[in-house]
Amino acid sequence: MAKLVILQGGDAKNYELTGEEAVMGRHPECAIQLESNMVSRRHARVYKNGNKYFIEDLGSGNGTVVNGEKVEGALELKNEDRIKLGPILLRFEDLSSPATRKPKSDDEYGTIPGTRLAVEVAAGPEDASMIMGSVGSNPFGGIQVRPEAKLKAVLEITRSLAGTVDLQTILPKILDTLFGIFPQADRGCILLKEEGRAQMIPCAIKHRRSGDDDSVKLSRTILNKVLTEKTGILSADAANDTRFNASESISNFTIRSMMCVPLLGLNGDPLGVINIDTQNPLKQFQNEDLDLLMAVAGQAAVTYENARLLVSFMEKQKQDNEMNIARSVQHALLPEKFPEIAGYEFFASYESAQAVGGDYYGVSTKDNGKKVCLAFGDVAGKGVPASLVMSRLSSVVQSTLEFVDDVGEACERINNHMCANAVEGRFVTFTLVILDVESHEMSLCIAGHMSPMIRKADGSVEEFAEELVGMPIGVVEGIPFDVGRRTLGPGETVVIYTDGVSEAMNPASNLYGTDHLRDFITKNTSNPTELGKLILKDVKRHASGRYQNDDITLMSFGRLA
């Protein structure tokens, strides 16, 4: 007759399979009742079909494993097969069904492949009596207690972790060292807080004997106390002590003695917890062991925090290097030099507030140098998103101006291109100028940007009417743009700027302002290059060292006197 024999995780017992079906689970009505919180209420069933026996998982939380492989659907059982339900290990015996699969030895069964580390935090009554001892948050507070042992343990943990920066390696090393410091420890685990989540995440588990119950159970009562009060907790012989009969979170765990201490970061807040336990009733942990573990955990936490900060620093360096590359790529999109045309001079400057920015200017020639195309834009926002829009704008402007001569038509096409697959909220204020250097006529479209300032030969400043300013680029597709025209006379200079110039602030939060800019242009030289450099210098003077909060871009060009 076939039967199931419990090998591990419960009382040694044989279950004769006399009926057509036997359900295994935690529920009292199950034919084979298994006392473990890792076993579902109705976990799996063994049923008979003809002369053969099959096992089927009933949608359990932790799955059913036969000979180390997770059961999917129905699986025929053979003699000597090993069945694992959570921490419970059973052997199927049926002499009429010889073994066709070589079972693994009992100590080879681990967690189900592909599942997370088996750490269960069970809720129980908030019963403080389960706590047998505690130690304060200062890991070295009781240095007078076994100072030589503490020093040796701290040196040992420091030596074992020295030079380790891999966060996936450092946690198992901590457990390995703790098992050397506490020879009575049977199981250990480290749980860490995950940013943005309230629950603790198991990151490392160790068992002294590979055949032990592969799951680690923690009491929510103890875990909460360790994290909120930043204290180490000792619980001893909870499974056999009648005082704990009412506390399911301990009494079902078969833990004879356990210690749980916080891993405190450099700011004093818990990064996580270390938990170790022993199932040997003759080797219970004592208060001095808890004090020792608290000291070791303090050094381990510092080492882990330092490694984490080093990893963050290296990641930041990598990001900075990538941003420097992006900065170089973006600057490569800007003109390397300006056209050299007799009687004219061109100047432009671009300084982003961050590594990359969203301002843009471009200069190109048409008709064998008879016409100069000048594009100037400011993408809404700054940083990486704005720089990506800026790079697209650069490509669109360049390709459009190769085939379109009319400034109004060119601006419409640029707008339509930018509206296609546009990123919401990333519009561009834009000015496009086509300058005929023979007739000296300047035609331009202003798409949501500030009007250029034209310094006349007598020093007065002229601007285009507000009615000429149209919708920014990338907002509405298919709209026309008005064209403004003006002939440049000798000694007249045009200044185009972004709001990073006019809205530059000093430490008192006072703006540089368009009025000040207009007045400064009036009082200074008409030479485009010299005037542009003087404006930028004056903006920095006004800022007085205040951090630049927007991209500063300026273009100036004009006829020489």
Burial class (CB in 10 A: 0-12, 13-18, 19+), 440: middle
- Whether residue 38 is predicted with pLDDT greater than 70 in this model: the reply is yes
* pLDDT at residue 211, rounded to an integer: 52
* Tens-place pLDDT, residues 490-517: 999 999 999 999 999 999 989 999 999 9
pLDDT mean over 46-58: 93
Residue 62: the pLDDT is: 83
Residue 185 pLDDT class (50, 70, 90 cuts): confident
Percent over 90 (pLDDT), the chain: 36
Length of the chain counted residue by residue: 561
Q: Is 82 left (phi over 0), alpha (psi -120 to 50) or beta?
A: beta
Average pLDDT over residues 338-354: 91
Secondary structure percentages of the chain, helix, strand, coil, to 5:
30, 30, 40
- pLDDT score for 484: 95
Among the listed ranges 162-171, 173-182, 413-422, which one has the minimum average pLDDT value? 162-171
Does pLDDT of 10 surpass 70? no
Q: In angstroms, what CA-CA distances link 436 with 337, 384, 509, 552?
A: 19, 36, 41, 28
pLDDT of residue 9: 67
Strand locations in 69-225 (E): 69-70, 74-76, 82-85, 88-93, 119-122, 133-135, 187-193, 200-207, 216-219
Of the ranges 213-217, 236-240, 495-499, which is most confident? 495-499
Residue 412 has a pLDDT of 94
Please enumerate in sequence order all residues whose Cβ is within 8 A of that of 146, keeping only pairs 6 or more positions apart, or say none. 288, 291, 292
pLDDT over threshold 90, residue 129: no
Residue type, 321: N
Q: What is the mean pLDDT of residues 469-490?
A: 92
Please report the pLDDT score of residue 190 as a whole number. 87
Q: Kindly report, residue by residue over 240-268, the tens digit of the pLDDT.
A: 443 334 344 443 444 468 889 998 888 88
pLDDT of residue 134: 61
Q: Supply the pLDDT for residue 44.
A: 94
Q: Would the pLDDT of 149 be above 80?
A: no
Average pLDDT of the chain, as a whole number: 81
Q: Which residue has the higher pLDDT, 196 or 81?
A: 81
Query: What is the pLDDT, as a whole number, of residue 112?
Result: 32
User: What residue ranges in 265-306 does DSSP mark as E strands?
Assistant: 270-278
In this prediction, residue 99 carries a pLDDT of 56
DSSP alpha helix (H) spans, 81-139: none
**pTM for the whole structure:** 0.55
